[in-house]
Chains A and B, each alone.
Chain A
Amino acid sequence: MCLAIPGKIVQLFPDQPPTAMVDVVGVRRKVDLGLLQDQPPVAGDWVLIHVGFAMSKISEQDANDQMRTLRMLGEAEAAMEEVQGYGLEES
């Protein structure tokens, strides 16, 4: 729940509420963009995701660093489980 998961925006959906498809090391899930409405991201941008919501825009370098930190913390698996769970796919 407290994990900040880095992902790359691969596709924007113009629906209301605004969402985007993000890629987190190969896993693609929809995330909510509602908390980034002051600085709307575009495809190709990197974001930090908390509980299914993109919370901040970051650089690609920072995204890579964050993924490495999660691995070093032993949290990468939990992060991937979280991402895979978005959208109730697993339930």
Chain B
Amino acid sequence: MKFVDEFREPEVITRTAAEIRRLADPNRHYRIMEVCGGHTHAIYRFGLKDLLPPNIELIHGPGCPVCVLPMGRIDDGLSIAEQPDVIFAAFGDMMRVPGTRGSPLEHKARGMDVRIVYSPSDALKLAQTNPDKHVMFFAIGFETTAPSTALTLVRAKNQGVHNFSVFCNHVTIIPAIRAILDSPDMRIDAFIGPGHVSTVIGCRPYEWIAKDEDKPVAVSGFEPLDILQSIVMVLRQLKADEAKIENQYKRVVPWEGNRAALRAMAEVFELRPYFEWRGLGFISQSALRIRDSYAGWDAEQRFHVPGVRVTDPKAAQCGEVLKGVLKPHQCKLFGKECTPEHPIGALMVSSEGSCAAYFNYEHRKTARLTSIESVA
């Protein structure tokens, strides 16, 4: 509650929180999943849980691309970069993600040519300025980043840049939601839909969640008020026994999405028959691969890829946390062996990973309070 004054329009926040309490049936327990890691981060950072009645439980979803990438893919990408004259280029988020033999950053310390780029187009530029090397861009992300990778590949082909390839780990959000709904140990009442993914795919792809699964969805922005309003939207639907898709983030998300971005993705990518997700296992048609017409720029077709499958460290319970079955602090390693400084699982690396968010805001807050109490 102490944060409320810091918010813009604190009185609207207070009113919205009161509306949530009014709508929530005290005899019912609500499980609402925020799909996107950005929302998870915001919920912890702003302490929004403190504004909700105890019978509203927020379940953290799989929308953190770094977190859902299985370790074997990191090993595969690094094994390509072990070949002579290959530069491994990736976003900064990837650099500390552990593979079996260390993270990309640790490989760099051992001599691998590893570069941080902030845009796939800069990875292409790196190839153009290093004609004697091969630049492999380790691509990750949901539909938010996939169109940029696609357009970069179109440019590489048009400009005839042949010392460039993409190791494609792009995933799509809809099949992951389906896998969660199909999972027998999960009960979700409603979804807070991802904001930025939806700027690309629009709101239509969620319609089956309402029609076939009878679950409300509110596509949400990232401000505290956005998230609270989205909770109001789904609670109103649940109270009225309705299920539909509402767009709380209309100021940024068009109902039809970004057609130019969707065209770029369709030009370059096709669905993989199946792809492994950390915690969720193999999900059919849940990831993108590069079409044959771009085979010359597909690292998986240009290089030998071992196809490594690695099980996560036994004690780490990343999978259960990713599915929302366990809260981050319920994992045996949380805050002990596994911390943001020394991550064992990827959920501790990314700021959007629920373990890092929980550690940085809840765990540290509790630790502070405990030390104050012990002094007192």
Contact = CB atoms under 8 A, between A and B. Distances in A.
B93 A35 contact: no
A36 B261 CA distance: 8
Interface residues of A, number: 36
B45 A55 contact: no
Contacts of B117: 85, 88, 91
B196 A4 contact: yes
Nearest to A59: B251
Nearest to A52: B119
Contacts of B180: none
B251 A58 contact: yes
Interface in B14-66: 37-38, 41-42, 45-46, 65
B148 A53 contact: yes
Interface string A29-47: 0001011111000000000
Contact of A56 (B8, B91, B199, B223): B199
Contact of B196 (A2, A53, A81): A2
Interface size class of B (residues with CB under 8 A): 35 or more
Nearest to B361: A74
B37 A35 contact: no
A58 B223 CA distance: 16
Interface of A: 1-2, 4, 17, 32, 34-38, 48, 50-53, 55-56, 58-59, 62, 65, 68-69, 72-75, 78, 81-83, 85-88, 91
Given A2-B37, A52-B120, A88-B117, A37 B148 contact: no
B261 A1 contact: no
A59 B151 CA distance: 25
Among B8, B251, B259, find the residue whose CB has the most chain A CB atoms closer than 10 A: B251
Contact of B151 (A4, A34, A56, A87): A34
B250 to A, nearest CB: 11
A2 B351 CA distance: 10
Interface string B67-104: 00000000000000000000000011100000000000
B8 A35 contact: no
A47 to B, nearest CB: 11
Interface in B286-331: none
Contact of A17 (B92, B126, B155): B155
A52 B152 CA distance: 11
Contact of B252 (A1, A38, A51, A58): A58
Given A35-B264, A37-B260, A91-B117, 5 more contacts: A1-B141, A4-B252, A62-B251, A72-B46, A85-B116
B42 A73 contact: yes
